[in-house]
Structure 1
Amino acid sequence: MRLAKIGVLSFIATIVIAACVADGIGGPVADPAAGVAPQVSVAASLAPVEPSPPIPTPDPALYSKLRVFVASESTNQVWVLEGAKGQPYQLVGKIPVGMLPHQMGTSPDGKWIAVNNRMANTTSIIDPIAMKEVARLAVGKQPHAITWSPDAKTLFVGHERDTYIARFEAGTWKPLPPLMVGAPQHVMTIPRSHPNEVWFTLTNTSEADVLRVYDLATDKVTRVKVGDVHDAYFTPDESEVWSSSSGFLDKPSDRMVIYDPNTKTVKSEIHLVGHYPFHTMKVNQDGVYFLPDKSIMVISDHTMPGLMYVDWRERRVVGETKLGQQPFHTAYDPEGERLLTTTNVDGMVNVIDVRTHEVLQKVPVPKAHGIGVVPIP
C-alpha cells in the first residue's frame, strides 16, 4: 500500500547525518542489475527474438523506522515509540513538557512536533530527531486546537479560554500577529486545497454558528450556519467537510453534518446509528503520511468504542476495530501498513493492521491523547 507523502523530501535531506545514530538505518536496497533487460542469444538462422521486458525495480523504502510521539497527559511527558516494517513498536524515550500535554501537531515537512500543554498555557516544540524540547512558547489560556500551515512555515494554536488564535514562525518561534476571532476555539484545520483558510469550531460560548472560517488573505471570518459542532475535518480528497457533534463524553451523538467547502454551506446531515464519531486523521497535524485509499475516512468512535472505517461517498460504515475506552487520535505507518490510535482510559497506543482491521499490538502510554509520526531514514 503506497501513500500520499506530504512534503518530506527536504526534511529527509537534513536529517540523514543525525539519524545515523538510530539502529537499523537504511531500507531495502534495489539490485543494481534489476533494471537491466536479460541478454537473449539468437541463432543466426532464426528471426530476431524480442528481449524480455526489464524486471521492475522495487520502490525504495520510505524510511527504516517510524518514530511516534504520544502526549501522555498524566505524566506531563511526550512518550516516543519506534517501529520498523514487520517489527513491533518499542518505547525509546520520554520527553518532559508542560502540564497536561494534550493536542499534538506534526509539521508537514516532518521537522517539528508541537504539543499544547493544556493546563500550563504553553506549547512545547520538540525536535523529533534529537528527541528533546527545543522551545516552550507562551500562549493564551487553555491551549487546545493546534495545526500547521501547509507550507510548514507557521504554527497555529487555539485556546478554549481565550478569543484569539496564536501564530508562530517555524524555526525562530517568533510570535506573529494573532488571529482575533472573537470567541474561544476547540479544534482547527487548514486544508492543502484552501491554504489561506483556518476552519475552527467554538467552545465555552453561547454564540450561534459554531463552525467558522478565518480567511488569512482578507482577515475576514465566515460563519457557517450550523449548531452543535464538535470537530470538523475534510474528506481525504478535500471535496467535503464533515463535522461531528456534541464532544461531551456523557452526551453521545451519532449526527454528522456535511458541508461544501467552497460555498461554506450545509449539504446534508446524516446519522451513523450506533456510533459516536469523534476525530479523524488531519493533514498538517497527525503526522506526514495518510492512507492512499481516498474513499475511506478512519474515525474514532466513543460508543463502540474503537475505530470505524467510513466510505464517505456512500455515507456508511464499512468496517470496525474495537478498542479501549475513549479512542482519540490516529496516525499512519505506510511501510508497515499499520494505524496507530491512542485510547485514553486504558492508556494505550493501539497498532492496527490496515487491511484486516485487527489489533496487532498494544503499547502502554498513560493517558495517551495526541499523536504524531515522522520518518527516520
Structure 2
Amino acid sequence: MPYSPVTFLSRATLAAAAVFSLIGHLNTAYAADRVIVLDSGESELSLIDEATHKVVGTEPTGKEPHHLMITPDGKSLIVADSVSNNLMFIDPHTGEVQRTVDGIEDPYQLGFSPDHKWFVTAALRMDRADIYHYDGTNMTLVKHIPLAKTPSHMTFGSDNRTVFMTLQDSGELAAIDLPTQTVLWKMHVGNEPAGLWMTPGDKYLLVGMTGEDDVAVVDWRKQQIVKKIHTGRGAHNFRNLDDGKHVVVSNRVESTISIIDYTTLTNVGDITGLMPGPDDMELTPDKRYLWVGFRFAKHVGVIDLTTRKLIDTIAVGRSPHGIYFDNRAPVIAPNPD
C-alpha cells in the first residue's frame, strides 16, 4: 500500500526557560543522573534525582501519558499522550519539551523496529495498530490495522519484519507483517495478555497474563503455547535484567515481582514486600537496582537486586507508569550572578 500523503509534521512547542519548574536565573553544572517517571493519572512527568531519590520537579504533559521511548538517535524521549492524541518529544537530560507531534491517535504503547524504519503505536481504545514510516524526524502514517480487541503491548522480531501485539480483551496474540501491513495470524493465549518479551534468538515469546497468575511461553512459529510459568496474580510487564539469563515480570494484583530464568523457562524467585500494583520497571545502568512504578500507590520503588528487597519508595503523582533513566543529565544550579 502506498504511503498516506499525510505526514504529521512536528509543531514546535519549545518551553524556553521552563525545565520542571526549576528555572529562574540558572546555570548548568556537571552531570548528575536523572529519572523521568510518567504520572499517567496526573498528566505530568516527575523528575527524580537518582542519587537522593528526591522529586526535583514536574512538567505537564498531555492526557494519560502511559509509555515512553528514546528516539534512535538518543536526542529525544518520546512520551505518548494517549487521550490527547499526540507525542511529546522532550530532552532526555532535562525534561524540557522540544516539540509536540499532533494527530497520532490514541498512542497507548509505542515502539521502533530494530532497524528504526518502522514506528508502531497500539491504539488501545480504538482497537487497532497504526504503522508509520520513520525517516529519523517525522512519522508518516502508512496504515491503520484493525485489531479486536484492546491492543496494548508489543515487541519486534529481529528480522525487522514482524511486530507482535497482545490484545487484552480478546485474549489473543497477533503478528503483523510490517512491509505489507497485514495481520499474519492471531492466536488465543488466555485471559488479558499484556506484556511481551522475546527470548534470545527469537525462540519464544513470553506473555504476561494479567487475567491469570502466569507467563505463557509461546512458540510463535508454530503458534503454540509450550509452557506456562506460574508467577503471581496479574502477571503484567517485563524487564530484562541484562545478565544473559533473567527477565523479571511484575505481578500487578499479587504485588510481587517474579524472576524468570529464560534459559530454563522457570520462576527462580519472587520479590515480595512491595506496594500495591507494580507495573513498569527499569534497571539502573549499573544493574544493581530495579525501579518500579506502583500504579495503585502513587509511589515509585527502588529494589536492591542483590538482596531482592525494596529499599526505598518515592512519592509521585497518581498512576505512575513509564520510567526512564538518563545518565548524562546536567545539574541545574543557581547562577552565581
What band does the TM-score fall into relative to the shorter chain?
A: 0.7 to 0.9
Could you say which residue in structure 2 is the equivalent of 1:97? 61
Work out the CA distance in 2 between the residues paired with 1:191 and 1:330. 19
Q: Contact (CA 8 Å) 2:175, 2:183: kept in 1 or not?
A: yes
Instruction: Quote how far apart the aligned CAs of 1:342 are.
Output: 0.5
Displacement of 1:150 in angstroms is: 2.1
Return the match for 1:148 from 91, 99, 112: 112
**What amino acid maps onto 1:292 in structure 2?**
D
Q: Post-superposition shift, 1:145?
A: 1.9
8 Å CA contact 2:40–2:64 kept in 1: the answer is yes
- Whole-angstrom distance in 2 between the partners of 1:337 and 1:314: 23
Q: Structure 2 residue aligned with 1:373, among 314, 325, 331?
A: 325
Matches within 5 A, 1:308-347: 308-322=258-272, 323-335=274-286, 337-347=288-298
Cα distance change of structure 1 residues 22 and 241 upon mapping to structure 2, 3 Å threshold: farther
- How many residues were matched structurally? 298
Offset from partner CA, 1:94-150 (integer Å, 9 cap, x none): 221101211222335433222222322222222213422223233465431211222
Counterpart amino acid of residue 368 in structure 1 = P
More strand by share: 2
Match for residue 287 of structure 1? none
- Which sections of structure 1, spanning at least 5 residues, go unmatched? 1-20, 26-64, 282-289
Does the aligned pair in 1 maintain the 2:145–2:182 contact within 8 Å?
no
Which residue number corresponds to residue 254 of structure 1? 213
CA drift of 1:168 comes to 5.8
Alignment of 1:175-190 (within 5 A): 175-183=140-148, 185-190=150-155
Q: Would the alpha carbon gap of residues 128 and 192 (structure 1) be closer, same or farther in structure 2, given more than 3 Å must change? A: farther
Structure 2 match to 1:132: 96
**Whole-Å Cα distance in 1 between the matches of residues 298 and 308 of structure 2?**
20
Identify unmatched segments of 5+ residues in structure 2: 1-26, 330-337
Q: Check conservation: 1:226, 1:266, Cα contact below 8 A.
A: no
**2:176 partner SS:** strand
Change (3 A) 1:154 1:361: farther
Q: Which residue of 2 aligns with 1:197?
A: 162
Are 1:354 and 2:305 an aligned pair? yes
Quick one: distance in 2 between partners of 1:170 and 1:345?
A: 38
TM-score normalized with structure 2 length: 0.77
Q: Give runs of aligned pairs for residues 1-377 of structure 1, distance below 5 A.
A: 23-25=29-31, 65-83=32-50, 87-139=51-103, 141-152=105-116, 154-162=118-126, 163-167=128-132, 169=134, 172-183=137-148, 185-191=150-156, 193-203=158-168, 210-228=172-190, 229-237=192-200, 238-245=202-209, 247=210, 252-261=211-220, 263-272=221-230, 274-281=232-239, 291-322=241-272, 323-335=274-286, 337-366=288-317, 367-376=319-328
Which has the higher Rg, Structure 1 or Structure 2?
1
Whether the 8 Å contact between 1:71 and 1:103 is mirrored in structure 2 is yes
TM-score, with length taken from structure 1: 0.70
Runs of 4 or more consecutive aligned structure 1 residues displaced over 4 Å after TM superposition? 21-24
Is the Cα contact below 8 Å between 2:288 and 2:305 reproduced in 1? Answer: yes
